[in-house]
């Protein structure tokens, strides 16, 4: 009797638990919280932005205006923003994908001294507030002859540069700020990947008489390939999303728009100028650009292929 009671009591929960634990259902249970937050906080706003991109939105007077927002996008300011952002993406990708590999390899080598110290030093910038970091960079690269950067180039006999007012140096400032900030994070990714490279491969390479560089290019790099693909992808996406790197130097109006990024353009038009429809249209275009470029990049690196083909 007593035993029967017990089994009766636990029958219900058991069934539920079994259901939730079943191989088919369990995965969905685990990703359920993410799906909810994704749908509410990301997917719904994205759809809404898509709808808004066909509207003219003013308090109490929202109306559909067809493609007029998209037609307005093709203007010189947008081209400038697109050009700036693309240049920025290319430069940051080249720097942030390649340099950290070498740094990680060096830090990982058994000859490196104080490697913990260097790891920490490289990583700390990513924890710094970009507003604070940007202020420091702005002062380092001031326009007067007494600013740090101008003093340094002065030792080599170079005339002071108006860092924040020239097109090439503006790009340089944004790229250097971003590189300084994210270098350590990418080094960490690579360092983690390096731990998975089997030591036997290096040993056998040694036996075959490979030198340091051959070991690096024929053993280390192939093993890092998945991570390289990953770092490239996030570098591209982060590059196209660039906003703060420009904001800290010029806020929203850079001279001659030399620091204008696509997101910056979206922000000034959509939020500051309260032209949400146009801002939304820009956002949709930016998503498409990133999507297409990521597809191309992942196809080229073979990330979509299965297995080890």
Partner 1 sequence: MKKIYFSFVFLLLTIVLIACGGNGATESGEEAEEVVTVGDNIEGASELTFWTFAGTHADFFEDAAIRWNEEFPDNPIQFTAETYPFDQMHNNLTLALQSGQGAPDMVDIEIARFPNFLQGEIQLEPLNDLIEPEIDNFITERLDMYSHEGQYYGAPTHLGATVVYYNTAIMEEAGVDIDEIITWDDYVEAGIQVTENTGVPMTTIAENWYGIWPFVRQSGSDFFDDNGDLTLDSAENIEALQFVTDLVIEHEIADVTPGGHYHSEEFFGFMNDGGQASLIAPTFYMNEFMVNMEDLDGNIEMRPLPEWPGSDTRSVAMGGTGTTVTNQAEDVELAKDFLAYAKLTEEGNIALWTQLGFDPPRWDVWDSEEVREDNDFYRYFHDDIFDILLDIRDDVVGVHMSPYTPDVLEEIDSNIMFNVLRQQSQTPEEALQQAAESIRAIMD
Q: Which two tokens stand for residue 192?
A: 């983690």
Q: Output 105 or 182, the one with its CB closest to partner 1.
A: 182
Please report whether residue 130 would count as binding partner 1 according to CB under 8 A.
yes
Q: Does 36 bind partner 1 (CB under 8 A)?
A: no
- How many C-beta neighbours within 10 Å does residue 21 have? 10
Spatial separation of the C-alpha atoms in residues 145 and 127, rounded to whole Å:
31
287 scored as a contact of partner 1 (CB under 8 A): yes
Q: Which one of the spans 14-22, 58-66, 104-112, 193-201 is the region binding partner 1 (CB under 8 A)?
A: 58-66
> What stretch of H or E contains 162?
none
Name which position in 3, 7, 116, 144 contacts partner 1 (CB under 8 A).
Answer: 144
Bridge partners (DSSP) listed for residue 64 = 55
Asked if residue 180 binds partner 1 (CB under 8 A), the reply is: no
Among residues 194 and 263, whose Cβ is nearest to partner 1? 263
Cβ density class 229-264: b for 16+ within 10 Å, e for less:
bbbbbbbbebbbebbbbbbbbbeeebeebbbbbbbb
Do residues 96 and 183 make contact, with C-beta atoms less than 8 angstroms apart?
Answer: yes
Q: Rounded to the nearest whole angstrom, what is the least distance from the CB of residue 211 to partner 1 in the complex?
A: 39
Where on the phi/psi map is residue 275: left (φ > 0), alpha (ψ -120 to 50), or beta? beta
Q: Counting contacts by CB under 8 A, is residue 238 touching partner 1?
A: yes
Q: What is the largest CA-CA distance in the chain?
A: 98
Alpha helices per DSSP H over 74-114? 76-108
Cα 210–chain centre separation: 36
Provide, rounded to whole angstroms, the least separation between the CB of residue 62 and partner 1.
8
219 is an interface residue for partner 1 by CB under 8 A: no
- 114 versus 291: smaller Cβ distance to partner 1: 291
| Out of 87, 229, 294, 297, the residue judged to bind partner 1 by CB under 8 A | 294
In whole angstroms, give the CA distance from residue 120 to residue 105.
Answer: 15
**Residues 170 and 258 sit within 8 Å (Cβ to Cβ):** yes
Instruction: With contacts defined by CB under 8 A, name the span among 1-9, 112-120, 148-156, 229-237 that binds partner 1.
Output: 229-237
Q: How far is the CB of 42 from partner 1 (least distance, A)?
A: 5
Q: Does the footprint of partner 1 cover residue 272 (CB under 8 A)?
A: yes
Instruction: Give the DSSP H/E element, type plus range, for residue 64.
Output: strand 63-64
Residues touching partner 1, count (CB under 8 A): 52
Q: How far apart are CA 169 and CA 234, in angstroms?
A: 25
Q: Which stretch binds partner 1 (CB under 8 A): 115-123, 171-179, 192-200, 254-262?
A: 254-262
The residue (of 108 and 235) whose beta carbon lies closer to partner 1 is 235
> Which residues in this chain contact partner 1 in the complex, by CB under 8 A?
38, 41-43, 46, 57-61, 72, 75-77, 129-131, 142-144, 162, 165, 233-234, 237-238, 240-241, 243-244, 247-248, 251-257, 260, 268, 271-274, 276, 286-287, 290-291, 294-295
């Amino acid at each position: 009797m007593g035993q029967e009671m017990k089994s009766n009591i636990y029958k219900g929960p058991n069934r539920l638990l079994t259901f939730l634990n079943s191989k088919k259902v369990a995965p969905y249970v685990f990703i359920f919280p993410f799906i909810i937050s994704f749908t509410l906080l990301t997917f719904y706003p994205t759809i809404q932005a898509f709808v808004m991109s066909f509207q003219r939105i003013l308090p109490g007077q929202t109306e559909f205006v067809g493609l007029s927002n998209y037609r307005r996008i093709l203007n010189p300011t947008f081209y400038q923003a697109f050009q700036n952002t693309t240049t920025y993406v290319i430069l940051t990708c080249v720097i942030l994908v390649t340099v950290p590999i070498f740094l990680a390899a060096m830090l990982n080598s058994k000859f490196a001294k104080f490697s913990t110290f260097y790891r920490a030093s490289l990583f700390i910038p990513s924890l710094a507030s970009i507003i604070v970091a940007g202020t420091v960079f702005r002062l380092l690269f001031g326009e007067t002859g007494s600013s740090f950067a101008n003093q340094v180039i002065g030792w080599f006999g170079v005339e002071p540069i108006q860092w924040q007012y020239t097109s090439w140096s503006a790009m340089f400032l944004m790229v250097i700020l971003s590189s300084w900030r994210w270098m350590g994070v990418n080094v960490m990714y690579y360092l983690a990947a390096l731990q998975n490279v089997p030591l036997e491969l290096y040993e056998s390479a040694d036996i075959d008489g490979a030198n340091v560089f051959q070991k690096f290019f024929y053993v280390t790099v192939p093993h890092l390939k998945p991570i390289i693909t990953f770092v490239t992808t996030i570098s591209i996406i982060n590059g196209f999303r660039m906003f703060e790197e420009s904001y800290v130097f010029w806020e929203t109006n850079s001279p001659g728009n030399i620091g204008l990024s696509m997101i910056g353009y979206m922000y000034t038009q959509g939020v500051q100028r309260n032209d949400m429809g146009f801002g939304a249209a820009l956002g949709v275009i930016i998503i498409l650009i990133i999507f297409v470029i990521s597809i191309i990049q992942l196809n080229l690196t073979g990330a979509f292929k299965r297995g080890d083909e």
